[in-house]
Amino acid sequence: MSVTAAAGFRAAGAVAGLKPSGKPDVALVVNDGPRRDAAAVFTSNRCKANPVLWSERTTGDGKVDAVVLNSGGANCYNGPEGFQTTHASAELVAELIGGAAFDVAVCSTGLIGPLLDRPKLEAGIRAAAARLSSDGGNAAATAIMTTDTRSKEAVTHADGWTVGGMAKGAGMLAPGLATMLVVITTDAVADPATLDAALRTATRTTFDRVDTDGCMSTNDTVLLMSSGASGVTPDAADLASAVTAVCADLTKQLWTDAEGAHHDIEIAVAGAATEDDAVAVGRSIARSNLFKAAVFGKDPNWGRVLAAVGTTDAVFEPERIFVSMNGVQVCRAGGTQAGEPSENVDMSGRHLLVEVDLGAGDAAATVFTSDLTHDYVHENSAYST
Amino acid sequence: MSVTAAAGFRAAGAVAGLKPSGKPDVALVVNDGPRRDAAAVFTSNRCKANPVLWSERTTGDGKVDAVVLNSGGANCYNGPEGFQTTHASAELVAELIGGAAFDVAVCSTGLIGPLLDRPKLEAGIRAAAARLSSDGGNAAATAIMTTDTRSKEAVTHADGWTVGGMAKGAGMLAPGLATMLVVITTDAVADPATLDAALRTATRTTFDRVDTDGCMSTNDTVLLMSSGASGVTPDAADLASAVTAVCADLTKQLWTDAEGAHHDIEIAVAGAATEDDAVAVGRSIARSNLFKAAVFGKDPNWGRVLAAVGTTDAVFEPERIFVSMNGVQVCRAGGTQAGEPSENVDMSGRHLLVEVDLGAGDAAATVFTSDLTHDYVHENSAYST
């Protein structure tokens, strides 16, 4: 059900024909109220796509009536006409649902550069609007897929209120954020500031900790909309917790569907002086092509883990570092003590847990990545052709 | 001739049996003087191998009699016994050539973790010492190869003096520095401070600008030794220029022999506010797996170039960026003006010149990288097995 699990929301998906495959490529999520509070976070990439430039402005006042999303094109780096397409989409949605364009958020995903076919997009938006329903969550989640192999949806029910969400994203998953579009809805009553705090709490430890290929997208958007239709005003901490649960669920779905991956690698860093140190170390390992290629080869190469740790500014001494892979302690005290045999590490499954203890404090963090495979190279060398 | 092109040096290569292949794996370069001035730079990785820990200390006084290098093992993260092996190597070389262990530098390259077989290594060092000759440069350069497909040697002759050098390195090529071992020799007369200045001038714009896979090694060493045998004391600027020429030549040889690469990508960034900005932008593009995979697929995907630029802190406005590939201006004014058709870019050759103009100033820098290929994944997933 995803975005329509919470009361007060309708959604739909439709075929605009932006994707050569003819699969659904336009999604619409409408908040029927009674409230229309919202919060959003966007990519930190300084080269931003037109829909991000638009939505940053329109969500800034904490009010969003609807969001229209398309796959089949990023609408990015294509000049004034591209921005006008984004604007025209918002105007059309506003006209169809009765509202103002400035209260409509827009998201796009796909290839950077080309213009979107505006007549096709507008026809798709009209088709989606005609199909809006309170059980359209799955149709919307399906319409935003690109190289995703499955739709991503999550729901958490609380005491009289609900948080639901959908996401897309399979490549370019990196901090702040990934090529991900995420829409989260709730029927809880919450003002924009409370929603913003809940969303930032949630993304900091979920979407921001996925780093499948180190590449940061131009289009990332995570939008949280509240209808207030439940009439329940939860405690801010409970709301943050529920939003975090949905984001964590969607994060796991994104992580385990990364382009071309054969292993889902969970890098749990402990014993760090600070949480920032733990994240920096986890991210450095997650971005080591040599380590990621070794995992693809089922080689528990802890030397490449230490080499990646060594490139960070984190507090540590090499000879205090312990590394385990799937429970086998292959590196003890930075190699100064004999570790367990690497052959004991079972890497036949899809999940690999890499535990790194820096021996420098009590802070911890987990970063999620994927291995570097022939399929990754293939998918990303053939994408635009 | 490489390291023996300059007068006052002898070199040799020998088979110690550290490499399973039985190929040469120990090299020795001896400075016969009359002077023995030296300077060195090392990896900035904080997890350093035993030979780096040793050589940082022994080169600090600006005097080096000889350097012994081995392939077939990095001698890294293997505890006190590994460091003792490094120390024992230096002691043995000192005994064989008549000198002090503290004046012998040591370099190792190969797999991280395992101990080197000390008896084998010592027998190899004895064999190399017995074979030292003033035309042993090529034998030494061959003995330090790992996954290199060819030996790397360079020579520059100046007015009565010479600079020569050898290098190895094919993977883990990244800043500060790569998995590279480099020995440069000169018969010019120069004190350690002058050599140090020349070496740092040279490495800043050569080895430090190769970034084939973003991974930083634990063993990188660049050593410059001067015998003074020519009797000529060149101007410091001339010396720096000659050392830079040799380093640039070796850099190009390393870059164009990167593991698994199908394209040598030269990223020339201009119009930057500062040289640091230009380097940061070039490096960010060089580390974008998505861009590198696109190049492998012969896809001139400038959107991925802009996405990489956008992740930096450099001064720029997206709509002022121009991008050319092999002379075809595929992106004009950040996509706000129509670029030349991507189909016009000929990517059939091995070399790809990517020119990025940030439109923010007059500074420029060039970074050298490789594409991300199936062969890279294959080589690095199978390396230790």
Q: What is the pLDDT of residue A179?
A: 58
In sequence order, the β-bridge partners of residue B9 are B31
Torsion angle, alpha carbons of A285, A288, A294, A300, to 10: -20
Rounded Cα distance between A345 and A239, Å, is 40
Q: Of 2.40.50.500, 3.40.50.300, 3.30.460.80, 3.10.20.340, which CATH number belongs to A264-382?
A: 3.10.20.340
Instruction: Please tell me whether A85 is known to bind a ligand.
Output: no
Q: Which two tokens stand for residue B112?
A: 């991280």
Q: Are A347 and A298 in contact (CB under 8 A)?
A: yes
Instruction: Please tell me whether A385 is known to bind a ligand.
Output: yes
Q: What is the ipTM of this complex?
A: 0.74
What is the location of CATH 3.10.20.340 in chain A?
264-382
What is the location of CATH 3.10.20.340 in chain B?
264-381
Rounded Cα distance between B1 and B11, Å, is 10
In CATH, the number for domain A2-255 is: 3.60.70.12
Q: What's the Cα-to-Cα distance from A162 to each of A88, A189, A191, A242, rounded to whole Å? A: 32, 11, 16, 8
* Higher pLDDT pick, A376 / B90: B90
Contacts of A310 in chain B (CB under 8 A): 45-48, 216, 218
Residues 302-361 of B with CB under 8 A from A: 302-304, 306-312, 316, 318, 331, 333-337
Interface test with A, best of B289, B337, B342, B356 (most A CBs within 10 A): B289
Q: Using CB atoms, which residue from A77, A78, A301 is nearest to B384?
A: A301
Check CB contact under 8 Å for A294 and B383: yes
Contacts of B217 in chain A (CB under 8 A): 307
Rounded Cα distance between B107 and B9, Å, is 18
In tens digits, what is the pLDDT along chain B, a chain of 385 residues?
689 999 999 999 999 999 989 999 999 999 999 999 998 888 777 778 899 999 999 999 999 999 999 999 889 888 889 999 999 999 999 999 999 999 999 999 888 888 999 999 999 999 999 999 999 999 999 999 887 888 989 899 999 999 998 888 765 544 343 457 778 899 999 999 999 999 888 888 888 777 766 666 677 778 899 999 999 999 999 999 999 998 888 888 887 887 788 999 999 999 999 999 999 999 889 888 889 889 998 999 898 898 889 888 899 988 899 999 999 999 999 888 889 999 999 999 999 999 999 999 999 999 888 888 888 888 777 754 3
Per the annotation, the verdict on A179 as an active-site residue is: yes
Contacts of B382 in chain A (CB under 8 A): 297, 299
**B281 interfaces chain A, CB cutoff of 8 Å:** no
Residue B375 CB neighbours (<10 A): 16
**A117 CB-near residues (< 8 Å, 6+ apart):** A17, A18
Q: What is the pLDDT of residue B1?
A: 67
Arithmetic mean of pLDDT over chain A: 88
Three-state SS annotation for A79-103: CHHHHHHHHHHHHHHHHHHCCCHHH
Contacts of B48 in chain A (CB under 8 A): 310, 318
Check CB contact under 8 Å for B214 and A287: yes
* Phi, psi dihedrals of residue A315, rounded to the nearest 5°: -75, 120
Instruction: Please tell me whether A19 is known to bind a ligand.
Output: no
pLDDT 10s digits, A12-52: 999 999 998 999 999 999 999 999 999 888 877 777 889 99
Check CB contact under 8 Å for A309 and B47: yes
What is the location of CATH 3.60.70.12 in chain A?
2-255
Check CB contact under 8 Å for A218 and B307: yes
Q: Where are the beta strands (DSSP E) in chain B?
A: 9-14, 26-31, 37-42, 66-70, 104-108, 152-157, 162-168, 181-186, 221-226, 264-272, 322-325, 328-331, 351-357, 363-370
Scanning every residue of chain B, which has its alpha carbon at the shortest distance from the alpha carbon of A318?
B47
Instruction: Please tell me whether B168 is known to bind a ligand.
Output: yes
Q: Using CB atoms, which residue from A214, A336, A377 is nearest to B293?
A: A377
Q: Using CB atoms, which residue from A45, A82, A293 is nearest to B380?
A: A293
Q: Using CB atoms, which residue from A304, A318, A373 is nearest to B377?
A: A373
Q: What is the pLDDT of residue B147?
A: 78
Handedness of CA B278, B283, B289, B294 (dihedral sign): positive
Q: Which fold has domain B264-381?
A: Ubiquitin-like (UB roll) (3.10.20)
